[in-house]
Chains A and B, each alone.
Chain A
Amino acid sequence: KAGVTQTPRYLIKTRGQQVTLSCSPISGHRSVSWYQQTPGQGLQFLFEYFSETQRNKGNFPGRFSGRQFSNSRSEMNVSTLELGDSALYLCASSEGREGSPLHFGNGTRLTVT
């Protein structure tokens, strides 16, 4: 099976712009989660989608949003970018059932200048 695929791998944006990141989960996985990884902060939970519904959301401002399509692919959008949004954004898929582990993609490294 192919792993979790994230595109693009790298992005450079300027403050105020918006960005959309994409994630294709492992085939058969219906749950997609998004995490922000920054040095010293570890992985911060953004949100999780299952069958096109957002099941939970982390403590991020409303500028961060996401969605999931019927084929389980997910997108994350960040509007009005700030310098502090520079980070590695990781997507993870799972079966979404009790105790099913997360499988991460390689991430999208976003740099905001």
Chain B
Amino acid sequence: GENVEQHPSTLSVQEGDSAVIKCTYSDSASNYFPWYKQELGKRPQLIIDIRSNVGEKKDQRIAVTLNKTAKHFSLHITETQPEDSAVYFCAARVTSGTYKYIFGTGTRLKVLA
């Protein structure tokens, strides 16, 4: 069935270090992969996304890479800051004639000052 696995579930890094979160999806028809950041008590907010015809996308300190063959995609945050502390969710948009997103179980990132 459709599934997105996300690792790690928690991640602690020192301020200024890099953080990497990895996701694997099962549905080869998936063609759009957004990442959401959810701060405590707030709504998930889109931070970056990538489409299946692109291998990498970067936006300032955030980048996402996609390996379609291996069905992996990853979020990279460089020069982490305390305000990056949040829960991050990856998602894969299932097409197969439907429009729904399957989310990973989330990664709680703590940036230690």
Contact = CB atoms under 8 A, between A and B. Distances in A.
B51 A99 contact: yes
Interface residues of B, number: 24
B43 A43 contact: no
B93 A56 contact: no
Interface residues of A, number: 26
A33 B45 CA distance: 15
Interface string B88-109: 0101010000111111111000
A50 B99 CA distance: 9
A83 B91 CA distance: 28
A42 B45 CA distance: 14
Contacts of A102: 34, 46, 101
Interface in B59-113: 89, 91, 93, 98-106
B3 to A, nearest CB: 11
A84 interface: no
B102 A45 contact: yes
Interface string A28-48: 000101010000111111001
Given A40-B105, A102-B46, A106-B43, A96 B99 contact: yes
User: Which among A41, A42, A44 has the highest number of chain B CB atoms within 10 Å?
Assistant: A42
Nearest to A45: B100
Given A43-B89, A90-B44, A55 B98 contact: yes
3 nearest A-B pairs in the assembled complex, by CB-CB distance: A42-B105, A43-B103, A56-B98
Interface of A: 4, 31, 33, 35, 40-45, 48, 50, 55-56, 58, 90, 96, 98-99, 101-107
14 contacts: A33-B100, A42-B105, A43-B91, A45-B100, A48-B98, A55-B99, A56-B98, A56-B99, A56-B100, A99-B49, A99-B93, A102-B46, A102-B101, A105-B43
